[in-house]
A and B are shown apart, each in its own frame.
Chain A
Amino acid sequence: MSKDVLVVKDLNMHYETLSGDVSAVKNVSFTVKEGESFGLVGESGCGKTSVAMSLLQLQADNAKISSGSIKLDGLEMVGMSESELREVRWDGISIVFQGAMNAWNPVIKVGEQIREAIREHYPDNTKVENTEKIASLFKMVGLDSSIMDRFPHELSGGMKQRAVIALALSCDPKLVIADEPTTALDVVIQDQILKEIKKVQELLGLSLIYISHDIAVIAEMTDKMAVMYAGSIVEKGPTSEIFANPQHSYTQSLLASTPSVVGDKVKLNSLEGEPPSLINQIDGCSFAPRCPNRTTTCHPELDMELVEVGPEHFVDICSANRN
């Protein structure tokens, strides 16, 4: 049994805004094991990026982690000082941001920006060592090593994205978070980048958290997954298990709204309604107002809680009780 790299327990995070607190992360718990690829899926605004930012303690100034714990390799990260965090960042957890195209400072050479990260965490490396390291990273993600001396604006979107992946790997992190790393790219490049990430992940035995709103991508990329809705995880478990046997109504709707390329033509099922505003306190099942298969055995009034329905397969109590 491989060990746990990241253990998140009952994480709560909210943004303080003028119109009230936005609860973006509610009682989120999950575990990522060594060498495992973990998917986080959910529609836009459900709090995926908020989870990722909390993991790095890089949340916006108005964000507050009110309770919960984040343990990286057994080390508690909530409440760490800035200097302790600086050591954990990139060396422990690195991230490919959602808008990764803008991740490069326009006036500094790409290689230099990677070098800077390595230098911070491996101050004793020589210049040559670092150059070799960057060149090998570039090779791994399919870039020529001459890209090092280029400025970001001289690269295409796809190249920038590959370079961002190289950057994320530069300090041999224990965990890499990829937050919708392919959103700004065209489909062909998207596919290439996904393959690249998958390849690198398997090659290096990386622990990876892959965030996406596209459940098909999650299926391709991950071993385990969690489905998020309105700030909470409503279902989690092994990816194959969830695809074979989705329990939560929201997961079922997500799966039904994804076209399958092979197989027969089916009518796509799209969800009615809007996700609830996160400013208001939600009692009971947050998905109930939109739930397409509510039955009399549903208990939307029960406080949300994950219960085990299969091996390592958890689902919200409301849907779990239904069958």
Chain B
Amino acid sequence: MLEYIIRRTFQMTIVFFLFLIFSYLLFNAIPGNAFSSLLLNPNLPPDAYQRVLEIYGLDKPLFERTQMYIVNFFKGDFGYSYKYFPKTPIELIAERLPRTLMLFSIVNIVAFYTGFFIGKVLAWRRGSKAETWITVTSVFSYTVFYPWFALMMLWVFGYKLGWLPIGKFLFPEKWYDAPFDSDVVFTSMIKFTVVVSVIQFIAYLVTRGIESLSLRRNLRFGSLLAIFIGSYFYWNNGEALIQKPYASDIAYHMILPVMVVTVVAFAGTALLTRTTMMEVLKEDYILTARAKGISQKRIRDRHAARTALLPVVTSFIFTIVTIIDGSVLTEQIFSWPGMGQLLLQSVLEEDIPVAMATFSFVGVFALIAHLLADVSYSYLDPRIRIKSQG
């Protein structure tokens, strides 16, 4: 396995290298540059434009610039933003990333679980009226034109009903006298989510080996309860208590985007789960499981859904990548100042260092997601595990 990962990492490095060159060339193919507007300013001396270009090295030939950029990139030097000069792209990304990560990790988790759950129930309840209707709805949300749908939802929930805020990720007036930056709050929200998931995961691993099913279920329920109680105390004590109103403000702003993206993203998972699971249900081992007297729920989850999971996970990991790209659209619609907006703005303003940095970030993310898909696939399917080890 390790050898396989190393080999893949090597391949990925090459792909990434090519990716860098091509994106750099593409960004430079956009006519004009970030400073073209200086030419139009009559108050500036005529050589000002030339001077600026020299400072940023933009007067050099494209080939040389590409070379320099790549070399510097691997040295960890991403240059400075043209637009927000003293800031580096890394600083900009560091500010934006938690916001995007928070929003989309929640969206992904929610979308995957709802999709998978709905899919398996659909397959299990094959032929019922509910199945037909939910399937039709899923096909609708799978095929709907996303920006239109998002705007409709904004209109309904934000404007007509007025339940949820329209756009932005916080109410600025609430934050005037905030003792800290929104990033701090974001970071601690992410930390909290990660810790909770890790605890949940460990509880799952530990209880896995327990023979008695009822004890196992009770322990898992107990761990969930413990997490709830723990969270309650965490948010009502010390540092977190001060952050709480701000964190809940952000959470409030997240509801609508999470909801909308989930509605759009869950359907693919649900439909795929439904199809693969229906195939699995025809298998002989499902009949064996029934003959063994195992409960319906356990047959559904442990035998059918577990086997149907394989293609679903793979396709899901690939959609994660498109969700990151999709963040450009989502963040624009919901005025969520994250990575997607940063990418869009920097491209429009030809702020090449920032555009390149965000773009490569997305690229790295996509590559890692693909590696993850392969690795998780071989974990989920023991038949593959052997091959990739050898």
Contacts and interface: CB of A to CB of B under 8 A. Distances in A.
> Is A bound to B?
yes
Nearest to A125: B211
Interface stretch (B84-92, B344-352, B375-383): B375-383
Contacts of B382: 106-107, 151, 153
A119 B293 contact: no
A202 interface: no
B225 to A, nearest CB: 23
A89 B293 contact: yes
Nearest to B293: A89
Interface string A83-104: 0011111110011010100111
Given A99-B284, A119-B213, A94 B307 contact: no
B231 interface: no
Nearest to B127: A61
Interface in B188-246: 209-214
B287 A97 contact: yes
A58 interface: yes
A74 interface: no
A123 B284 contact: no
B295 interface: yes
Given A107-B380, A123-B212, A153-B382, A86 B295 contact: yes
Contacts of A127: 209-211
Contacts of A103: 284-285, 287-288
A115 B306 CA distance: 17
A124 interface: yes
A117 B209 contact: no
A130 interface: yes
B303 interface: yes
Q: Indicate the size class of the contact surface on chain B.
A: 20 to 34
Contacts of A58: 287, 290-291
A126 B211 CA distance: 6
B313 to A, nearest CB: 12
Interface residues of A, number: 37
Contacts of A88: 293
Interface string A38-74: 0000000000000000001010000000000000000
Interface in A120-140: 120-121, 123-127, 130
Nearest to A130: B211
A121 B211 CA distance: 12
Contacts, number: 87
Interface string A2-21: 00000000000000000000
Interface string B30-61: 00000000000000000000000000000000
Contacts of B302: 108, 116
B111 to A, nearest CB: 24
Contacts of B283: 102
B161 interface: no
A119 B211 contact: yes
A270 interface: no
A159 to B, nearest CB: 16
Contacts of A108: 302-303, 306
B292 interface: yes
Nearest to A86: B293
B289 interface: yes
Given A90-B292, A107-B307, A117-B293, A123 B381 contact: no
A105 B285 contact: yes
Contacts of A56: 291
B294 interface: yes
Given A123-B212, A127-B211, A151-B383, A105 B307 contact: yes
B381 A107 contact: yes
B383 A121 contact: no
A267 B290 CA distance: 46
A99 B386 CA distance: 25
Nearest to B292: A117
A5 to B, nearest CB: 18
**Residue of A58, A85, A105, A153 ringed by the most chain B CB atoms within 10 A:** A105
Nearest to A104: B285
A107 B306 contact: yes
Contacts of B288: 97, 103-105, 167
Contacts of A125: 211
B236 to A, nearest CB: 40
9 contacts: A58-B291, A87-B293, A89-B293, A91-B293, A105-B306, A107-B381, A116-B292, A123-B213, A127-B209
CB-based closest 10 A-B pairs: A89-B293, A102-B284, A127-B211, A117-B292, A151-B382, A86-B293, A105-B285, A103-B288, A90-B292, A90-B293
Given A104-B288, A105-B289, A127-B210, 13 more contacts: A56-B291, A58-B287, A88-B293, A103-B287, A107-B307, A116-B302, A117-B293, A117-B294, A119-B212, A119-B213, A121-B293, A123-B213, A126-B211
